Structure 1
Amino acid sequence: MSSSDDDMPLARANGHLSASKVSKADDRAMDVDSSAEAMPAPISVRNGPVDNHSRVNGSGKRKSRSSIANVSYKDASDSDDGPLAKRQKKIVADDSDDEVLSRKPKKLPPAASETAVLEDSDDDKPLNAKLAQKRKSIEKNAEKEAKAIRANESKQKKPTPKKAIKEESDDDAPLAGAKGKKRVSNGAASKSKANGVKKEESDSDAPIRKKIKAAPAKTAPAKGKVKAESSAPAKKTPAKKVKEESADPDEEDEEAEYRWWDAPKKEDDSIKWTTLEHNGVLFPPAYESLPKNVRLLYDGVPVNLDVEAEEVAGFFGAMLHQKHHVDNPVFQQNFFKDFKEVLDRTGGATDRQGNKVNIKDFSKLDFQQIYDYYHAQSEARKAKSKEEKKADKAEKDKLEAPFMYCRWDGRKEKVGNFRVEPPGLFRGRGAHPKTGKVKHRVLPEQITINIGKDAKVPQPPEGHKWKAIQHDNKATWLATWQENINGAYKYVMLAANSAIKGQSDWKKFEKARELKKHIDRIRKDYTRDLKSEVMADRQRATAVYLIDKFALRAGNEKDTENEAETAGCCSLKYEHITLREPQTVIFDFLGKDSIRYYDEVTVDRQVFKNLRMFKKPPKKDGDDIFDRLTTTQLNKHLSSYMQGLSAKVFRTYNASYTMANLLKNLPVNNASVQEKIKLYNDCNREVAILCNHKRTVGAGHEAQMEKLGDRIKGAKYQKWRLKQMLVDIDPKQRKKRGTEYFEYDEDLDESWIQDHIAFLVEEQRTKIQKKFEKDNEKRQAEGEKPFPDKELKERMKAADELDKKLKKEYRTKKVEAEGKSPTIDKIEQLINKADERIKALELQAADRDGNKEVALGTSKINYIDPRLTAVFAKKFDVPIEKFFSKTLREKFNWAIKSVEDNVDWEF
């Protein structure tokens, strides 16, 4: 065994442990006849159960799945309607197939194979299969490019001292060299070490409460200068001077843009700021007591509560409409426990006569009066006039203004989350064990302020003081406190469009670009180690394969008593993977944010064999797949190839590199703007599927598509009217162009046309009404009398005339030419414009329908280098607004500006 005797108790605590060595006999035993008929997945929740003899997961009898849970709180038999949640222990009395099926969700996330390619309607090959073929050529390109980069670097290197040469060779030498010896010997050394038995967590995923003391160190960048090929395009111009401003941070004056991407790079990047000024944080308003006629009822009796207990009761009462929370027994139990603690601390409850009321049964609590009160307040706010809402917003903006901006090295920078979260009930994602617990009100005594030494310290609310004041210029947060639910630290940071956040994004994508020159060696090494005799090496290679090929997150150990039970690659359990001969792997688990990850993928045969081995009996549900690997060990191994390389860099690299290759050979010549947008989105969609960024179809999708379809039909109807105008101008046009040219489009039926006419008339009436109201508002603002109602009636005659006109056109099929001095040429130009509009709308509809099961935003915002989008937009004259919203344009200003004069920039 590779583990020492001291490690064995830990291994047994974590479940059955794989053997430290893989014998040739064991390796052969995991292989089967790959030409055998492929059998269905034995526990695929998509397809239902199959006979036990087809199971290749390593045990004879199927276990219940922890990734599918019964969350119907009222009746265990009504589980089909419930969302996914953490499995409750002992829900299933036996291992019968029927019991498992009874907990199957009605709606599964779409498998990648179900997302078809829109532009190839005659081709049934799924998009993930096409992308797999493309990825083979993309990976070959990556291998060639990596070798070319290293060869070019070696040519450009000048003679350096022996010591420096040694250091560089350690970074870039193949693992067969000095570094390689160290890595290869890792397997042998594992005999004297714990060799992968899980006992430590990845630092990147560790709770903040365990890392807070090391915060300054975490902000320090990797040592050494960034390589030339991975640096942002620099113009070598000095940073522009910032214009002096008023000390008032809310003053909206203009100042020169800080182009940090053009500024010389700092030697010591660990120092984040020299001067820092800000006004602290904005606390939520104090609690306002309920009116005397609004009370919590217990067993039908109104009770009086201390103001603190009343506020907690209000948290639950205000949520009665959120049934998925308030009907959850875990939510109820946690709330009631905390509520009782507050009651005990504040003197309990009394009735109207002052007699003690012993609240001990949650089911006897009635929050309806509280809910009605808060609901009425909400409706009253919605019913306010525009002027009242405008005044409220102005008051809110005035209150927030001092906190919205800070002074960072003399520059005015926007603060992101300056508001302290108000108290309430913790929801949590997925089946969080602490859902329903009370989030306490955060007091100034809990908050640490980080600010410049010479800056004025913000004044805390009267009667309070800050927990601490510090001047850490290696930290990028302005304030921090610890919340009471999970003990996590909350930070006030700069906004996404700030220079410091932009630099963080830039570093992330530059790190991914740097991976380009190492990716071929990494893939070659893990392909070799897939057959390693050392189990730890084989597990590590398999994990890297899955992370690289299928964009799985690394994952980490979870404190399941205090955290939702989610998983990633290194923390996959036995029940999270189903194997189907000859090479299909089905993943089904709760991933980040408790979002269900479900996918069926085809893997290399050796990977399939390895996973089969990792599930070998006596392993069972709850046991780790990668039981000799931790995220820390995986990232440590990856860093031997490249400084700072971790599993998460692969997602950014693969997304960006794939997008770059897909964009290279797009048929954009002579394409319209809308066609270019669709071509870009098609590439984005493929990357999103690669990263498994899927979503269930939104409830309003069908309605949106129907509305878009009506817009297309409306454009076709308008095109028909224009054609009839040609005949009105020149009757000979009917004979010249043929009868078919002037007929209705096949999409337009008689019933729809009548409905559309009614819609056009009603739309006209609405416009007239809004214009009338706007004119009256303007007159009132200028001190004039509003128009009388008869003015509105007079204006409405235009809609009546439109109604008569359109109905006459429908009956007679004749349309009188409109416009000033209409001619054949003018009408033909309008018909061409209508054709363009129809084509653009149809492209938009196809694009939207193709995106219904794919979340494009996640990959575009977080994983695709924004410079790729900026270059595409600039190079092909597509407005950047078509890809990035105003908020994203501010966030990625560095990317847009840094490549504006370099359309040949490449990832």
Structure 2
Amino acid sequence: MSSSEDDTPLMATNGRVNGTSSATKVDAKHPKVKAESSQLDPGISIRFGPVQDRDVEMKDAEGGASKRKGRTSVSHQKSYAESESSDEDDQPLSKRRRTSMKHKDPETDEDVPLARNGRKLPKASETAIGESSDSDVPIERKLAAQKKKIEQRAARKPAPKKETKPTPATKKQTNGVKKEPAVKKVKAESVSPQKPKGKAVKRESEDADEKEDEDDDEEYRWWLDPTKGDGTNKWTTLEHSGVVFPPPYEPLPKNVKMKYDGVPVTLHPDAEEVASFFGSMLNSTHNVENPVFQKNFFGDFKDIIKKTGGAKDSKGNKIEIKEFSKCDFKPIFEYYDAQRQEKKNLPPAEKKRLKAEKDEAEAQYQYCIWDGRKQKVGNFRVEPPSLFRGRGEHPKTGRVKTRVLPEQITINIGKDAPVPPPPAGHRWKEVKHDREGTWLAMWQENINGNYKYVMLAANSDVKGQSDFKKFEKARELKKHIAKIRKDYQKKLRDDMMVERQKATAVYLIDQFALRAGNEKGEDEAETVGCCSLKYENITLKPPATVVFDFLGKDSIRFYDEVEVDPQVFKNLKIFKKAPKKEGDEVFDRLTTSALNKHLQGYMSGLTAKVFRTYNASWTMGNLLKEMNATGSIPEKVKAYNDANRRVAILCNHKRTVTAGHANQMEKMGERIKGLRYQKWRLKQMMLDLDPSLKKKKGASFFELDEDLDKEWIKEHQAFLIEEQSQKITKKFEKDNEKLAAERQKEMKATELEERLKVVKEMEKKFNKENKTGKVEAEGKGPTVERFENSIAKLDQRVETMSLQAQDKEDNKEVALGTSKINYIDPRLTVVFSKKFNVPIEKFFSKSLREKFEWAIKSVEEDWEF
């Protein structure tokens, strides 16, 4: 590989295997590959095309499917220390998937070369597949053409320049963590000679009665503190107030009962609570009409009815509940729906009061003291009992999630800190002092046996450090990516089957962003990733096209038709060779743990996720380098979104077009037409003041746009009249609410009638204009100059709204948020903001600005990924 290719990723590997994300390569092909096949362009993707013929040349796929059972779940470990090489930052135990035991552990057991497996290593001629008519699949997505252009353009890019002398924000890294001078607390002015251009994130205000320390005006920049690296202990002192439990169940009114076969049924409160779980969500048809959801719920419901003494009618006679179809939960739904509407219709002042009361009650739980610093806690509320929904087609959907008691909760706190008291009459399961963990409390839920954790909020120092280390680890991959690609290209032809499988898997992860994947147990959704691909998930189409079709993350279909390296195509054919059949795994010699162990041999903590993060950030960084965003702020924002969209296309961060998209676009179109109608009216007012303008400016300047016909104008006028009427009515109601809150006399209905006279005058004016075709000048002191200024402002609004509409249309099939928040280094967004003078608020919401405070304050416009 030439030196110019060393830091150039073959593709942007920033995709989720969920039917909406994959990726394609963006740099020049390897010389070896190019020499073998000058006709191919590995990595070109044709997504969502039809699957036509499946492996027509392969006749050995006979027999029924045979699926191996997943291993039994691994018992919970005693140590709660976080693995520094975890694929997810602060990953809870519930997310650590089980992996299947395959033939042998490829990292420890010996393997037999292909040539000694009872047959000779097949020659290239023997593995070739005949010509097929399937290679002519049409590109059905308009993004595919754009995607190919991006890849070709990226392939011609020169290698990135070597990093210059590191600044305090970009020094040499070790294991993905920056090494900085020892600093614990520094004043904002002394951190860097250059003041940050972005607005500083506001500090959380301390309690009114709390004394202010002398160093409160000092800002703690942990990203410049080397003591907060990858050490074993995450904290020295920790204090918090525990967790907030959901309120106890309030029984339904006596007149509200579930019916069975038309008869109202009396249940024990515990059973009634479970009935209310189902009854309250009848409007969620996606769940309650799901047969699996119904079956699981009804099974648990019958069990709890049996345990609590059964169901009875109004006379006390026992009723045996046997059939789900005879259960009527509508009375329960109507009761809860009425409560929801009542809460929704509360006056704003009352809603504000209730929220203030709730915030006051929970104030002590919202923060903890972590190493002497006040940090916001994220999910301090214990999950309430409910019905489990699950992601995708989960086999346990509908099961009852039982109430979590204090006896199930383990508290993690400092040794010298006061332990928060449990609710009266209860005790904690255990109190730990685990300084290696970043969790404050944990419990095990009853559905999947997963552990739930109370963690710090996203904008806390600890979470910020987690994000920082993730992106620094991706930056570190720059040093190793060339060797990794060189090695897997070489090992694609290895004599050892396990080495070939390993190299092919890394190729697919790097080239097409397949997640590593794990074997699933029988009680989990049947989703797959690279290592767990089944025989039927891959279709081979000559000469080098592979079709992936499977359920990925969240049980969303992943379909991608791609051209691959010829050797990868041959390998996949070997991996699918008889006696393998449907249900068998393609990578039968490889486990996810073995693959991760192999990747970490190149770099500490390297996983498939790091590949995606690196390639997404590298691609975005290079797009920003060649960008020259000019014009208004909306135009610059669109330029950024265009770059982000290109990354998302390359990474195949696709999404399904929402059901309301067409309606939203129609509304935006109507609003733009409404602005153009206002411009026409203003021009007519100019003529009313000075008829000679028609000659000066030309008749065409005053003409009505062709699409604004008389029928549309009448409809729009009716809309404007109704809109004005609603505004006046709402303002009247709000004023009365304010008077009531201040215990003053409310206004009478006659006042509203008086205010609505303006609407009647507007209606008369529109009717007159429609008859005469003339518009009279209106407003105080109307002049031609004032109307021209108003027209100029409307032109700007039309332009801005048109850009927003185009942006929305372009993004209807692309998920920009996924790449911007999770995969593209946020410092690149900050670089764009500072380089082109666009407020960071245009890209990051308030919560994201708090989450990425470290990025906003740590770089300037010359920073490079």
TM superposition score normalised by structure 2: 0.78
Which residue, out of 769, 787, 802, partners 1:842? 802
User: Which whole-Å deviations, capped at 9, do the CAs of 1:199-248 have from their partners, x for residues lacking one?
Assistant: xxxxxxxxxxxxxxxxxxxxxxxxx9834997399896843599996698
Question: In the alignment, which residue of structure 1 is the partner of 2:50?
Answer: 47
The alpha carbon displacement at 1:374 in A equals: 2.7
Aligned positions of 1:411-450 closer than 5 A: 411-450=373-412
Report the CA distance shift for 1:906/1:817 in structure 2 as closer, same or farther (over 3 A): farther
1:736 equivalent in structure 2: 696
Are the counterparts in 1 of residues 37 and 566 from structure 2 also a CA contact under 8 Å? no
> Which deviates the most, 275-284 or 253-262?
253-262
Query: Which residue does 2:290 correspond to in 1?
Result: 328
Q: Shift in Å at residue 856 of structure 1?
A: 0.9
Cα distance, 1:275 vs structure 2: 1.6
Does structure 1 residue 796 correspond to structure 2 residue 723? no
Indicate which of 604, 625, 628 corresponds to 1:664: 625
Instruction: Indicate the SS of the match to 2:805.
Output: helix
1:544 matched residue in structure 2: 506
Do the aligned partners of 1:250 and 1:401 also contact (CA within 8 Å) in 2?
no
Q: Establish whether residue 282 from structure 1 lines up as the match of residue 244 from structure 2.
A: yes
Secondary structure, aligned partner of 1:585: strand
Kept in 1, the 8 Å contact 2:442–2:453? The answer is yes
CA displacement, residues 274-294 of structure 1 (integer Å, 9 cap, x when unaligned): 221111011111112223333
Distance of 2:231 and 2:39 partners within structure 1: 57
Q: CA deviation at 1:496?
A: 0.7
Contact 1:239–1:258, Cα closer than 8 Å, also in 2: yes
Evaluate the alpha carbon distance shift between residue 720 and residue 132 of structure 1 in structure 2; reply closer, same or farther with a 3 A threshold.
same
Stretch of structure 1 that moved more, 295-304 or 576-585: 295-304
1:349–1:358 CA contact under 8 A, matched in 2: yes
Is 1:458 matched up with 2:461?
no
Secondary structure in structure 1 of the residue aligned to 2:611: helix
> 3-state SS of the aligned residue for 1:600?
strand
Could you tell me which runs of 5 or more consecutive residues in structure 2 were left unpaired when the two chains were aligned.
1-35, 68-136, 189-202
112 and 695 in structure 1: CA distance in 2 versus 1, 3 angstrom threshold? farther
CA 1:258 to 1:816, structure 2 compared with 1: closer, same or farther past 3 Å?
Answer: farther
Counterpart residue type for residue 813 of structure 2: E
The counterpart of 1:681, out of the listed 619, 641, 646, is 641
Structure number with the higher helix fraction is: 1
Contact 1:34–1:581 (8 Å) recurs in 2: no
CA contact (8 A) 1:112 1:599 kept: no
Asked whether 1:616 is paired with 2:614, we answer no
Corresponding residue pairs, total: 738
| Superposed displacement of residue 566, structure 1 | 0.9
In the alignment, what sits opposite 1:830? Answer: 790
Cα distance in 2, alignment partners of residues 644 and 676 from structure 1 = 37
- Is the alpha carbon distance of 1:289 and 1:266 closer, same or farther for their aligned partners in structure 2, counting shifts above 3 Å? closer
Q: CA separation in 1, counterparts of 2:321 and 2:546?
A: 53
Query: Quick check: 1:584–1:603 contact (8 Å CA) kept in 2?
Result: yes
SS at match of 1:570: coil
Q: CA separation in 1, counterparts of 2:750 and 2:138?
A: 61
CA–CA separation in structure 2 for the residues paired with 1:795 and 1:456: 61
User: Which position in structure 1 is the counterpart of 2:127?
Assistant: none
Residues 259, 328 of structure 2: 8 Å contact kept: yes
Please show how residues 685-704 of structure 1 align to structure 2 within 5 Å: 685-704=645-664
Which residue is 1:127 aligned to? 146
Q: CA RMSD in A?
A: 3.5
State the match for 1:905 in structure 2.
Answer: 863
Tell me the secondary structure at the aligned position of residue 531 of structure 2: helix
Unaligned runs of 5+ in 1: 1-31, 67-110, 118-124, 157-223
Does residue 1:642 correspond to 2:603, yes or no?
A: yes
Query: Would the aligned equivalents of 1:35 and 1:582 in 2 still touch at CA under 8 Å?
Result: no
Query: Offset at 1:789?
Result: 2.8
Q: Is the 8 A contact 2:185 2:219 kept in 1?
A: no
The answer on whether the counterparts of 1:445 and 1:466 sit within 8 Å (CA) in structure 2 is yes
Instruction: Tell me the CA shift for residue 486 of structure 1.
Output: 0.8
Matching residue of 1:601? 562
Residues of 2 paired with 1:338 and 1:802: CA distance? 62
Secondary structure in 2 matching 1:543:
helix
Aligned to 1:860: 820
Structure 1 residues 830 and 314: alpha-carbon distance in aligned structure 2, compared to 1, 3 A threshold:
closer
Identify if the C-alpha distance between structure 1 residues 903 and 62 changes in structure 2 by more than 3 Å, giving closer, same or farther.
farther
Instruction: Tell me what 2:155 maps to.
Output: 136
Matches within 5 A, 1:288-367: 288-367=250-329
Partner of 1:226: 173
**Post-superposition offset of 1:800:** 2.4
Task: State the shift of 1:647 in Å.
Answer: 1.3
Task: Identify the range of structure 1 (333-342 vs 233-242) with the bigger mean alpha-carbon deviation.
Answer: 233-242
Partners of 2:244 and 2:381 within 8 A in 1: yes
Q: Residue 167 of structure 1 corresponds to which residue in structure 2? A: none
Higher relative contact order (CA 8 A, sep 6+): 2
Q: Secondary structure at the match of 2:222?
A: coil
The whole-number CA distance in structure 2 between the counterparts of 1:357 and 1:769 is 53
Equivalent pair of 1:113/1:129 in contact (CA under 8 Å):
no
Aligned residue in 2 for 1:710: 670
The one of 841, 852, 860 equivalent to 1:892 is 852
- For residues 248 and 210 of structure 2, the distance between their equivalents in structure 1, rounded to whole angstroms, comes to 25
Could you say what secondary structure the match of 2:283 adopts? coil
**Partner AA of 1:564 in structure 2:** A
Q: Give the secondary structure class of the aligned counterpart of 1:461.
A: coil
Map 1:361-440 onto structure 2 (within 5 A): 361-440=323-402
1:89 is matched with which residue?
A: none
Alpha carbons of structure 1 residues 748 and 232: separation in structure 2 relative to 1, 3 Å? farther
TM-superposed CA distance for 1:801, in Å, is 2.4
Q: For the residues of structure 2 that align with 1:898 and 1:810, how far apart are their CA atoms?
A: 60
For residues 447 and 209 of structure 2, the distance between their equivalents in structure 1, rounded to whole angstroms, comes to 37
Identity of aligned residues (%): 61
Say whether the 8 Å CA contact 2:644–2:820 is kept in structure 1.
yes
Distance 1:391 1:431, change over 3 A: same
Per the alignment, residue 101 of structure 2 pairs with none
Between the aligned partners of 2:138 and 2:274, the Cα distance in structure 1 is 45
Q: CA deviation at 1:711?
A: 1.4
Structure 1 741/358 Cα, relative in aligned 2: closer, same or farther at 3 Å? Answer: closer
- TM-score in terms of structure 1 length: 0.75
- Paired with 1:363 and 1:539, the residues of 2 have a C-alpha distance of 50
Cα deviation, 1:748-780, whole Å, max 9, x if unaligned, reads: 222212212222222222222233333333444
Taking the TM superposition and a 5 Å limit, the aligned residue runs for 1:508-587 are: 508-559=470-521, 561-587=522-548
Question: Which residue identity lines up with residue 149 of structure 2 in the other structure?
Answer: K
Deviations 1:524-573 (A, max 9, x none): 222222232322222222211221122221111211x1211111111111
From 728, 745, 754, the equivalent of 1:785 is 745
Shift of 1:820: 5.4
Alpha-carbon distance, 1:854 to partner = 1.2
Structure 1 residues 655 and 815, CA gap change in structure 2 (3 angstroms)? same
Return the offset for 1:267: 6.5
1:19 paired residue number: none
Give the C-alpha shift of residue 462 in structure 1: 0.6
- Code of the residue aligned with 1:307 in structure 2: it is P
Give 1:353 shift: 4.1
- What residue number does 2:224 align with? 262
Contact 1:449 1:469 survives alignment (8 Å): yes
Query: Offset of 1:680 from its aligned partner?
Result: 0.9
The residue that corresponds to 1:196 in the other structure is none
CA distance change for structure 1 residues 482 and 243 in 2, over 3 Å: closer, same or farther? closer
- Please list the CA deviations of residues 388-432 of structure 1 after superposition, one character each: whole Å capped at 9, or x if unmatched: 333332332233222111111222211110111111221112221
Cα shift at 1:476:
0.6
Greater shift in the superposed pair: 781-790 or 679-688: 781-790
- Name whichever of 584-593 and 359-368 sits farther off: 359-368
Alpha carbons 2:310, 2:319 under 8 Å: kept? yes
Match of 1:116 among 134, 142, 145: 142
Q: Tell me the equivalent position of 1:86.
A: none
